[in-house]
Amino acid sequence: MQTTTAKKLEMHRAMLLTRRFEEALIELCAIEGTIHGMMILCTGQEGVAAGVCAALEPADAIITNHRSHGHLLAKGADANTLMAEIFGRATGCNRGKSGTLHLAVPEINAPCTSTVVGAGPPIAVGRAFAQQYRDERAITVCFIGDGAADEGSFHEALNLAALWQLPVLFVCENNQYAGAQRFEEHTRAAHIADRAAGYGMVGVVVDGNDAEAVYAVTVEARARALAGSGPTLIECKTYRWRGHGEADHQLYQPREEILAWQRRCPLALLQERLLAAGLLDQATVAALEAEVAATVQAAIRFAEDSPYPEPPEALEDVFA
């Protein structure tokens, strides 16, 4: 399908914001005592989040995983409250109680981040069932990694979603590694999307570094879901540039492999296309870089200036 100029620019900005946001996190994590806990980034995978979320409407829900920053920013999360939450501050989107790994942003219909591998698909099926039951004009998207596609919960969720023809998209970000295990070491199939046939649903393989291609298949899958034709399994082939977490030194990833994928940078790919088509010029790119840099620095200042939650607050929000 034809991608509009507005959507191309939207995806470009989402990727740029995510990249600069996470680059700042890399620097902050190197300063002892600044950010507590494990930091897991989506650097190199931004094309998936940007492409998928550009195809969604505000009423659509996303269920995300431990690499959630790109998904949430592309869906419209506020950078200030997101950064404050990562800092564990009371002004964060979850009042400083979730940190980076359990982010929830209900106002953009991102009800939860699950770091349990494979936990997202059953939750997404429940959300999609509620949408279907209420006759809502909306869908649910579940982001998972290739490792999660080997969990039993993934298969149970796909089976039920297909059986009930639920309006849900399962987006597998195949970044070639499940933790420190290469894809071919944990999965015999050549493509995760091939598994869709076993459940009677559509399976699609797409270049996850091409945001426009991801957008196109998501638009089609969303239309099928809204038409009552059920779920789709979308496998986005991509790559994570950094380790499983910032404490991971990537000794199992060949350096030449990392460099080869960096040359296929999703942000650079779309930006070069936009420049070649005359939809961007260098002055506009520079202005956008400055705007995004200011947004990220403002988010950091907001987080640093915010207080930590008071100890008694630990007993609040315990029960729904």
Average pLDDT, the chain: 96
Count of C-beta atoms within a 10 Å radius of residue 126: 16
Specify whether the CB–CB gap between 233 and 239 falls below 8 A: no
Mean pLDDT of 161-165: 98
Written as six digits, the tokens of 286 are 């520079």
Q: At what angle do helices 5-29 and 211-226 cross, to 10 degrees?
A: 110
pLDDT confidence bin for 84, thresholds 50/70/90: very high
Please state the φ and ψ torsions of residue 110, each to the nearest 5 degrees: -120, 80
d(CA 182, CA 88) in angstroms, rounded, equals 33
And the tokens for 137? 């004009």
What span, in angstroms and rounded, lies between the C-alpha atoms of 125 and 231?
Answer: 10
Residues 132, 139: Cα–Cα separation, whole Å: 9
Q: What is the tens place of the pLDDT at every residue in 207-241?
A: 999 999 999 999 999 999 999 999 999 999 999 99
Predicted confidence at residue 109, as pLDDT, reads: 98
Nearest by Cα to 63 from 100, 102, 15: 102
Amino acid at 61: A
Residue 224 Cα to chain centre, angstroms: 22
CA distance 230 to 221: 9
Cβ–Cβ < 8 Å for 158, 196: yes
pLDDT score at 3 = 87
Query: How does pLDDT run across 169-216, given as a tens digit for each residue?
Result: 999 999 999 999 999 999 999 999 999 999 999 999 999 999 999 999
Mean pLDDT of 100-112: 96
> Could you give the residue ranges of the DSSP H alpha helices within the chain?
5-29, 46-54, 69-75, 79-86, 120-133, 152-163, 183-186, 211-226, 255-262, 266-276, 282-304
Q: Which amino acid is at 244?
A: H
CA–CA dist 103, 121 (Å, integer): 17
Q: For 8, phi and psi rounded to 5 degrees?
A: -60, -45
Classify each residue of 196-230 as buried b or exposed e, where b means 16 or more C-beta atoms within 10 Å of its C-beta. Answer: beebebbbbbbbbbbbbbbbbbbbbbbebbbeeeb
Output the pLDDT for position 301: 98
Encode pLDDT of 49-71 as tens digits.
999 999 999 999 999 999 999 99
Q: Is 31 helix (H, G, I), strand (E, B) or coil?
A: coil
At 116, the pLDDT band (50, 70, 90 cuts) reads: very high
d(CA 229, CA 251): 44
155 contacts: CB under 8 Å, gap ≥ 6: 195
| pLDDT-above-70 percentage for the chain | 99
Residues constituting the chain: 320
On the question of pLDDT at 2 being above 80, the answer is no
pLDDT at 272 over 90: yes
Q: Is the pLDDT of residue 1 over 70?
A: no
